């Protein structure tokens, strides 16, 4: 590679930030995303993200389910430029019925934004998504939203973040009042008061001060809020964690920002701090060692496969996270698992507006590749060499169902459907070890069952019936002598697609009992 191309690669990598927003439904993710896109000029009007969601509902076909339930099953990538940075937001399904796709999408992010509703605190889905991020040790930035409403005490929220998620936090700004009394926030880093403007939120009034004790803060906030602010910040100065970028980068400390997405209050400050503190695309692990983004040869991996985004076609889109080098349209790369070269002629990127054809892309970027059925989740693509990225983790399903095919004549199509849909990661499949030919599906969200059933019918013409099973946990079993007869009480042992033994449990109690009875066996939450 020529030096000017290397220089270009360096510039492009350094200016990129690729992240996901993790939150519980209704915390305000759509609203925040929209405001971020507005700053980037990627959309012109507020409401576009929602409108686009609605539009997608109107045009998709198997996603009829989305329409019926008014939720978004699909996740896409939004890209915009802001002050020289190129920002990629990995959009993850926000409904309670989220799926493994949500988890897998997080593996493509270099950092995460944790969005919390100030009145509700840390909620169930946030915990699950946080844990996936924490396992990778990626930096997490917290935005506490809906400051314009009566919320919980900020100290309570910090305490909950630490107790429930096990991460320390450092407030970058601090609310001056809340709800109807909201006056604004005090920026602890820049030493300024940012005043909340009620109905006119386009301009934030900023007052530079020497210190929060400054008398001019009193004149802005009034006596009562001023005293309270001083008290809070004195406590934070003494007892709180100091800001430490290294700890933030290791995912041990989360910077916290307060604001109100719908009022566009605190969003820009958040964005600017985030862009400064969040990492550029980070190296990815592979069987050949760590792959550095600046390494000149192109490489990447598929983290998600999406069927039928465009109802006019029956094709699939495979989402590729670029890990190193420069991607160019029409380039020929190694499809490592298949052991052959392929030409990437139709890469598509999903911008806020529309589908665009990508000519060039860089590490941190996500491109959608046209997939005639040749990709699987976790596949590596690389220029000239055989890089094999570490397998994506298989997450423990929490819901299980036995499948029966209503028409035995359709067995061949059924098998084809099972193969393709499990490759796409729609569901996980297990087989019984009891001698009966039983297929069990495992998912993390109820919606995955519905999508599976629907697609089996519409795409493969197979009517199936799903019978829910009472299991709640799956553990991959590792050991020399595994005696499956020791897994009888409220549990069963099955095999996964790769023939590994997996035990399913009805309760935590059943799991603990089995662990006690089988001290030589290792129980893994994700596939080995
Ligand atoms: P999502 O489910 O996380 O994508 O949440 P939405 O962005 O759709 O927001 C859920 C609800 O919260 C909507 O009614 C929003 O208008 C509202 N909301 C979002 N941000 C704020 C905020 O800062 N203050 C208030 N009061 N409401 C908000």
Q: Can you give the pLDDT at residue 315?
A: 64
Angle between the N-to-C axes of helices 29-39 and 267-277, in degrees from 0 to 180, rounded to the nearest 10: 80
94 assigned ligand-binding residue? yes
The 10 Å Cβ neighbour count of residue 334 is 20
24 assigned ligand-binding residue? yes
Task: State whether the beta carbon of 113 lies less than 6 angstroms from ligand 1.
Answer: no
The band of 395, judged by pLDDT with boundaries at 50, 70 and 90, is: confident
Task: State whether the beta carbon of 261 lies less than 6 angstroms from ligand 1.
Answer: yes
pLDDT in tens, 354-394: 456 678 999 999 988 888 888 988 999 999 889 999 988 77
Task: Write down the CATH number for the domain with range 299-382.
Answer: 2.40.30.10
| Ligand 1 centroid – CA 262 distance (Å) | 7
CA-closest residue to ligand 1 atom 14: 26
The band of 82, judged by pLDDT with boundaries at 50, 70 and 90, is: very high
The band of 65, judged by pLDDT with boundaries at 50, 70 and 90, is: very low
Q: Can you give the pLDDT at residue 352?
A: 39
Alpha helices (runs of H) in 424-519, residue ranges in sequence order: 446-460, 508-517
* 310 has a pLDDT exceeding 80: no
269: Cα within 13 Å, side-chain hemisphere: 32
Q: Can you give the pLDDT at residue 117?
A: 98
Over residues 225-232, the mean pLDDT reads: 97
Q: Can you tell me the distance from the alpha carbon of 495 to that of 504, in angstroms, rounded to the nearest whole number?
A: 10
The band of 43, judged by pLDDT with boundaries at 50, 70 and 90, is: low
pLDDT greater at residue 385 or residue 240: 240
Substitution candidate for ligand 1 out of 53, 185, 260, 262 with most atoms within 8 A of CB: 262
The band of 76, judged by pLDDT with boundaries at 50, 70 and 90, is: low
| Ligand 1 centroid – CA 427 distance (Å) | 30
> Which atom of ligand 1 is nearest to 50's Cα?
8
> Which atom of ligand 1 is nearest to 115's Cα?
3
Write a three-state SS string for 66-121.
HHHHCCCCCCCEEEEEECCEEEEEECCCCCCCCCHHHHHHHCCCCEEEEEEECCCE
91 assigned ligand-binding residue? yes
pLDDT in tens, 247-294: 999 999 999 999 999 999 999 999 999 999 999 999 999 998 999 999
Task: State whether the beta carbon of 178 lies less than 6 angstroms from ligand 1.
Answer: no
Over residues 341-366, the mean pLDDT reads: 75
Q: Can you give the pLDDT at residue 526?
A: 82
Over residues 477-481, the mean pLDDT reads: 92
* 55 has a pLDDT exceeding 60: no
Angle, CA 358 vertex, CA 60 and CA 76 arms, to 5°? 35
Contacts of 137 by beta carbon, 8 Å cutoff, 6+ apart: 250, 251
Over residues 64-78, the mean pLDDT reads: 48
| Ligand 1 centroid – CA 50 distance (Å) | 12
| Domain definitions of the chain by residue range | 19-71+111-172+243-277, 299-382, 399-524
What is this model's ipTM?
Answer: 0.99
The 10 Å Cβ neighbour count of residue 82 is 18
Residue 148's closest CA among 223, 210, 201? Answer: 201
Task: State whether the beta carbon of 251 lies less than 6 angstroms from ligand 1.
Answer: no
| Ligand 1 centroid – CA 49 distance (Å) | 13
522 assigned ligand-binding residue? no
Task: State whether the beta carbon of 255 lies less than 6 angstroms from ligand 1.
Answer: no
Over residues 233-253, the mean pLDDT reads: 97
449: Cα within 13 Å, side-chain hemisphere: 21
The domain made up of 19-71+111-172+243-277 has a fold known as Rossmann fold (3.40.50)
pTM comes to 0.87
Q: Can you give the pLDDT at residue 53?
A: 47
Q: Can you give the pLDDT at residue 450?
A: 86
Token pair 């019918």 in the structure block, residue = 457
Q: Can you tell me the distance from the alpha carbon of 472 to that of 463, in angstroms, rounded to the nearest whole number?
A: 26
The domain made up of 399-524 has a fold known as Alpha-Beta Plaits (3.30.70)
Q: Give the three-state DSSP class for 527.
A: coil
Q: Can you give the pLDDT at residue 67?
A: 44
* Distance set, CA 316 to CA 45, 58, 305, 307, 494 (Å): 30, 19, 7, 4, 30
The lowest-confidence range among 90-104, 203-217, 435-449, 461-475 is 90-104
| Ligand 1 centroid – CA 29 distance (Å) | 7
Q: Can you give the pLDDT at residue 95?
A: 60
Task: State whether the beta carbon of 146 lies less than 6 angstroms from ligand 1.
Answer: yes
The lowest-confidence range among 35-39, 318-322, 510-514 is 35-39
Substitution candidate for ligand 1 out of 20, 23, 25, 26 with most atoms within 8 A of CB: 26
The 10 Å Cβ neighbour count of residue 157 is 24
> Which atom of ligand 1 is nearest to 145's Cα?
23
| Ligand 1 centroid – CA 126 distance (Å) | 16
The band of 199, judged by pLDDT with boundaries at 50, 70 and 90, is: low
The band of 63, judged by pLDDT with boundaries at 50, 70 and 90, is: very low
* 60 has a pLDDT exceeding 60: no
Q: Can you give the pLDDT at residue 425?
A: 81
| Ligand 1 centroid – CA 116 distance (Å) | 11
Quick one: residue 70, left, alpha or beta (phi over 0 = left, psi -120 to 50 = alpha)? Answer: left
Task: State whether the beta carbon of 363 lies less than 6 angstroms from ligand 1.
Answer: no
Q: Can you tell me the distance from the alpha carbon of 496 to that of 526, in angstroms, rounded to the nearest whole number?
A: 12
Q: In what order do the strands lie in the sheet with 85-90?
A: 77-82, 85-90, 16-23, 111-117, 140-145, 253-258, 168-171
492: Cα within 13 Å, side-chain hemisphere: 16
Task: State whether the beta carbon of 286 lies less than 6 angstroms from ligand 1.
Answer: no
Task: State whether the beta carbon of 26 lies less than 6 angstroms from ligand 1.
Answer: yes
| Ligand 1 centroid – CA 244 distance (Å) | 31
The band of 1, judged by pLDDT with boundaries at 50, 70 and 90, is: low
* 64 has a pLDDT exceeding 70: no
pLDDT in tens, 502-520: 999 999 999 999 999 999 9
Task: State whether the beta carbon of 29 lies less than 6 angstroms from ligand 1.
Answer: yes
| Ligand 1 centroid – CA 217 distance (Å) | 30
* 308 has a pLDDT exceeding 80: no
Helix (H) or strand (E) holding 57: helix 48-59
pLDDT in tens, 143-158: 999 999 999 999 999 9
CA-closest residue to ligand 1 atom 26: 146
23 assigned ligand-binding residue? yes
> Which atom of ligand 1 is nearest to 25's Cα?
2
Substitution candidate for ligand 1 out of 20, 24, 28 with most atoms within 8 A of CB: 28
In degrees and rounded to multiples of 5, residue 348 shows phi and psi of -130, 145
* 433 has a pLDDT exceeding 80: yes
Task: State whether the beta carbon of 145 lies less than 6 angstroms from ligand 1.
Answer: yes
Share of the chain above pLDDT 90, in %: 62
The lowest-confidence range among 58-67, 224-233, 335-344 is 58-67
Task: State whether the beta carbon of 16 lies less than 6 angstroms from ligand 1.
Answer: no
* 73 has a pLDDT exceeding 70: no
Cβ(175)–Cβ(187) under 8 Å? Answer: no
């Amino acid at each position: 590679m020529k030096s000017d191309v290397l220089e270009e690669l360096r510039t492009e990598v350094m200016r990129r930030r690729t992240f996901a927003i993790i939150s519980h439904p209704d915390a305000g993710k759509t609203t925040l995303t929209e405001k971020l896109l507005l700053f980037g000029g990627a959309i012109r009007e507020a409401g576009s993200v929602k409108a686009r969601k609605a539009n997608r509902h109107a045009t998709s076909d198997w996603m009829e389910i989305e329409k019926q339930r008014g939720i978004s099953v699909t996740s896409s990538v939004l890209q915009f430029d802001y002050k020289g940075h190129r920002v990629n937001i990995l959009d993850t399904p926000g409904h309670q019925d989220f799926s493994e796709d949500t988890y897998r999408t997080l593996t493509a992010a270099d950092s995460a934004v944790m969005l919390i509703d100030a009145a509700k605190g840390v909620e169930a889905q946030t915990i699950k998504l946080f844990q996936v991020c924490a396992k990778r040790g990626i930096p997490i930035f917290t935005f506490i939203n809906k400051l314009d409403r009566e919320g919980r005490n900020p100290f309570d929220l910090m305490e909950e973040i630490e107790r429930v998620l096990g991460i320390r936090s450092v407030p970058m700004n601090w609310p001056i009042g809340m709800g109807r009394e909201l006056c604004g926030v005090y920026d602890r880093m820049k030493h300024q008061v940012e005043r909340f403007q009620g109905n006119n939120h386009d301009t934030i009034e900023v007052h530079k001060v020497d210190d929060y004790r400054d008398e001019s803060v009193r004149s802005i906030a009034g006596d009562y809020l001023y005293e309270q602010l001083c008290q809070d910040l004195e406590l934070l100065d003494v007892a709180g964690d100091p800001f430490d970028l290294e700890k933030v980068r290791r995912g041990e400390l989360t910077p916290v920002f307060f604001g109100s997405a719908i009022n566009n209050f605190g969003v820009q400050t958040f964005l600017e701090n985030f862009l400064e503190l969040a990492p550029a695309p980070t190296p990815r692990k592979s069987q050949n060692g760590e792959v550095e983004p600046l390494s000149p040869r192109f490489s990447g991996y598929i983290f998600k496969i999406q069927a039928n985004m465009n109802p006019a076609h029956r094709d699939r889109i495979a989402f590729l996270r670029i890990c190193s080098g420069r991607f160019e349209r029409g380039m020929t790369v190694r499809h490592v698992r298949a052991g052959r070269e392929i030409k990437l002629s139709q890469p598509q990127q999903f911008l806020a507006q529309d589908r665009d054809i990508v000519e060039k892309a860089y590490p941190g970027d996500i491109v959608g590749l046209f997939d005639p059925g040749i990709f699987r989740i976790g596949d590596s693509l690389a220029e000239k060499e055989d890089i094999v990225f570490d397998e994506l983790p298989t997450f423990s399903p929490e819901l299980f169902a036995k499948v029966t095919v209503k028409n035995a004549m359709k067995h061949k199509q059924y098998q084809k459907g099972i193969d393709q849909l499990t490759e796409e990661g729609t569901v996980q499949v297990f087989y019984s070890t009891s001698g009966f030919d039983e297929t069990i599906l495992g998912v993390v969200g109820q919606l995955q069952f519905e999508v599976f059933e629907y697609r089996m019918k519409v795409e493969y013409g197979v009517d199936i019936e799903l019978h829910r099973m009472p299991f709640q946990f799956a553990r991959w079993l590792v050991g020399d002598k595994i005696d499956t007869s020791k897994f009888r009480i409220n549990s069963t042992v099955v095999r996964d697609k790769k023939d590994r033994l997996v035990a399913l449990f009805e309760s935590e109690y059943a799991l603990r009992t089995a662990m006690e009875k089988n001290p030589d066996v290792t129980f893994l939450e994700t596939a080995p």
